[in-house]
A and B are shown apart, each in its own frame.
Chain A
């Protein structure tokens, strides 16, 4: 029986990996720009509803929705800028921060997905619709 543990080579950041990270970060920048545009439209759309006397709750809801739609774009942009800094200066701290941003982006996406699933369950609740028909 042979022991393979001695032959193991630790993972290294090769030029090939760097090339993939560079392209991923460029696409992340593209998505960030699109998400910023979408967030601006969301902000304008929510502001258009701010009419009447009780403006404060509407303004606060508008700010909350706009910041929530701005966050994924910001996280993608942060990933891009930190990855760019790492590829230029080879500082591992930048790389860690870049992947931390990507992780937070996926956390945000997962939470949003869970909310969508809950929404679907509430909308397509068969028990509730049967009760309504009765």
Chain B
């Protein structure tokens, strides 16, 4: 089957699918303008988090002071690279979330402007990636908080 026939078949298959209405495209345009603003703000905020993540040894020192003598916190302040690595990892994940959202915004606008089906599908793929990575990030953050809290309690108990 040559390329021209395959292209025609693709068009035929697509013609059976529902078309996108003007009201939907205007809503997507509004969403894209809002997500551009939110993702740019998110990218700036995450960069600040990444820079501040380099100063974690001071943070663990302050936590140790706040909680008194805790074996877990003193062990963490001695190995502060673990916390630094976690913050860097979280920042990279968040940067990807906001980057995907920004790409979605730009691609959905481009696809509406050019009526480009490939760009349209790519845009939704980027929004899906943004949701997926943010969801995994939230699950990991909750799990880590629970582990951290458990170790904090164990570190302060005299039997441990």
Contacts and interface: CB of A to CB of B under 8 A. Distances in A.
- What band does the interface of chain B fall in when counting residues whose beta carbon is under 8 Å from A? 35 or more
A27 B131 contact: yes
A21 B125 CA distance: 9
A6 to B, nearest CB: 12
B121 A16 contact: yes
Nearest to A102: B31
Interface of A: 8-17, 20-21, 23-24, 27-28, 30-31, 34, 90, 92, 95-96, 99-100, 102-103, 106-107, 109-110, 113, 117
Contacts of B28: 99
B143 to A, nearest CB: 13
A90 B124 CA distance: 18
Interface of B: 11, 14-15, 17-21, 23-25, 27-28, 30-31, 34-35, 37-38, 41, 111-112, 115, 117, 120-121, 124-125, 127-128, 131-132, 134-135, 138
Nearest to A14: B17
Contacts, number: 91
A99 B24 contact: yes
A107 B11 CA distance: 36
B112 A100 contact: no
A89 B128 CA distance: 22
Contacts of A107: 34
Nearest to B41: A113
A95 B21 CA distance: 10
Contact of A13 (B18, B27, B35, B131): B18
A21 to B, nearest CB: 7
B20 A10 contact: yes
Contact of A12 (B19, B25, B30, B34): B19
A27 B35 contact: no
Given A20-B128, A34-B138, A11 B111 contact: yes
A10 B115 contact: yes
B115 A13 contact: no
A95 B24 contact: yes
A110 B37 contact: yes
Which residue, A15, A20, A107, A113, has most C-beta atoms of chain B within 10 A?
A20
Contact of B135 (A14, A30, A109): A30
Contact of B131 (A16, A23, A110, A117): A23
B69 to A, nearest CB: 30
